[in-house]
Amino acid sequence: MATLTGVQKGYILHWGEMGTRWGINRTVAQIHALLYLSPRALPAEEIAETLSVARSNVSTSIRELEGWGIVRAVHVLGDRREHYESMKDVWEMFRLVIEQRKRREIDPTREMLRRSLEELDPKEAGAEFTRERLAAMAGFFDAVTELHDQMKRLPTGTVRKLLRMGTKVRKK
Amino acid sequence: MATLTGVQKGYILHWGEMGTRWGINRTVAQIHALLYLSPRALPAEEIAETLSVARSNVSTSIRELEGWGIVRAVHVLGDRREHYESMKDVWEMFRLVIEQRKRREIDPTREMLRRSLEELDPKEAGAEFTRERLAAMAGFFDAVTELHDQMKRLPTGTVRKLLRMGTKVRKK
DNA sequence: CGTTTCTTTCAGTTCAAACAGAATCTACAG
DNA sequence: CTGTAGATTCTGTTTGAACTGAAAGAAACG
């Protein structure tokens, strides 16, 4: 079992807290942090020991991380166990997570708003007001989606480059 | 007590679920949804009845929403009670929330990363690897911060307009 | 002032998500 | 085929956030 340095512990704990604030399970986030900092792929058993959580808990959490596509199992010669490693590219990691959270949360919300606007009964009292509010919210989510789609079309690394250059648009 | 239409109920429930997925209390999100859809400011008592939650729960939740700056108390002539209303501008609402979540979550994470990089003991085994990982993560958070700062400098509505026009950058 | 009306705080209580450990399942070696 | 190592699933149990109701605290009124 790898013993952790103070810095590593700090990072793992912070990442775990950060996860909970964004609706991601603490253990899931901690495991990701551990793998991210690990120079080699780790077997589930070792992860469980290092973080002091149940082996079964690691199993479930790893599954979640594999679901996001940011952790994968690799095999080590002469070892039957699965070893897990985190993706290295930070930008790609966040891109994956954002893309999927959009699909799981933003898209259904747009769908709900669209359906609500359809179902609105104009004869109902205050329908006009409700429509306006729903439309405003829907407009926002449409814009977010458009922004997301446009970024997806950019070649890898472009956002990074654009940021490094700084945008030219400034307050008039 | 205002009786809710089916569409309104659907919106409020959905918004509540959405909240929980992003680390925001379900009741807080539901109250916001209710106020957002309400054509008039509502007293706490009425909110509690409409959503079937304790009066005290409403009090705490409203406080949270006031903290974000997206709900405020208004007074109605001839009524001693506070009436609460939601901000109408969806863009401004999200801007406020994003700005504050950045301050509460992104900034401390950057700080943690900065401190970790300082504290790293180069004599420690694997320090070089850890440094590289921390630096990559820090770079990402720096970029996010820069993006955020640049957007803040844009005049209100510009992002909206840019999106409406569509960016000119395309895959080569 | 004392009373009334509304709001906030506080001290338990409830409940759902997270978790541990046992049981089950799977794959492979012998 | 059998035994063993490892992974997964399942069934309670734990825990902390969310919540309630009671009590305390403000503010407005006569």
Complex confidence, ipTM? 0.88
pLDDT at A61 over 50: yes
Q: How far apart are CA A62 and CA A111, in angstroms?
A: 30
Size of interface A-B (CB pairs under 8 A): 111
Averaged pLDDT for residues A82-96 = 95
pLDDT at B14 over 70: yes
Task: Based on the fold, state whether residues A157 and A107 are members of the same structural domain.
Answer: yes
Q: Is residue A169 part of a domain?
A: no
Averaged pLDDT for residues A46-74 = 95
Task: Based on the fold, state whether residues B105 and B67 are members of the same structural domain.
Answer: no
Task: Based on the fold, state whether residues A43 and A96 are members of the same structural domain.
Answer: no
* Contact status of A158 with chain B (Cβ, < 8 Å): yes
For A109-126, the pLDDT digits (tens) are 999 999 999 999 889 888
* Contact status of A123 with chain B (Cβ, < 8 Å): no
Average pLDDT score over chain B: 90
% chain B with pLDDT above 70 = 92
* Contact status of B147 with chain A (Cβ, < 8 Å): yes
Averaged pLDDT for residues A68-88 = 93
Tokens of B18: 């959405």
* Contact status of B57 with chain A (Cβ, < 8 Å): no
**Which structural domain, as residue segments, surrounds residue A15?**
6-86
Q: Is residue B1 part of a domain?
A: no
Task: Based on the fold, state whether residues B16 and B80 are members of the same structural domain.
Answer: yes
Task: Based on the fold, state whether residues A72 and A98 are members of the same structural domain.
Answer: no
Q: What is the pLDDT of residue B169?
A: 44
Number of domains in chain A: 2
Task: Based on the fold, state whether residues B37 and B60 are members of the same structural domain.
Answer: yes
Task: Based on the fold, state whether residues B107 and B48 are members of the same structural domain.
Answer: no
H or E segment to which residue A71 belongs: strand A71-75
Task: Based on the fold, state whether residues A135 and A150 are members of the same structural domain.
Answer: yes
Q: What is the pLDDT of residue B1?
A: 61
- Looking at B57, B86, B115, which one is the last position of a domain? B86
Contact criterion met (CB < 8 Å) for A163 and B147 = yes
Task: Based on the fold, state whether residues B64 and B29 are members of the same structural domain.
Answer: yes
- Closest residue, chain B, to A164 (C-alpha): B143
Task: Based on the fold, state whether residues A95 and A82 are members of the same structural domain.
Answer: no
Q: Is residue A62 part of a domain?
A: yes
For residue B87, CA distances in Å to A3, B10, B92, B94 come to 50, 20, 8, 11
Residue closest to D5, CA→C1'?
A80
Q: Which residues have C-beta within 8 Å of that of residue A164, sequence separation ≥ 6?
A: none
Q: How far apart are CA B85 and CA B38, in angstroms?
A: 8
Q: Is residue A168 part of a domain?
A: no
- Looking at B43, B69, B86, which one is the last position of a domain? B86
Q: What is the pLDDT of residue A170?
A: 38
Task: Based on the fold, state whether residues B94 and B82 are members of the same structural domain.
Answer: no
Task: Based on the fold, state whether residues A39 and A52 are members of the same structural domain.
Answer: yes
Q: Which nucleotides of D are covered by protein (CB under 7 A)?
A: 5-10, 17-23, 28-29
> Which nucleotide's C1' atom has the smallest distance to the CA of B55?
D20
- Looking at A52, A86, A120, which one is the last position of a domain? A86
H or E segment to which residue A30 belongs: helix A26-37
Contact A141, A109 (CB under 8 A): yes
For B85-114, the pLDDT digits (tens) are 999 999 999 999 999 999 999 999 999 999
DSSP B79: -
> Which nucleotide's C1' atom has the smallest distance to the CA of A23?
C17
Higher-confidence position of A137 and B164: A137
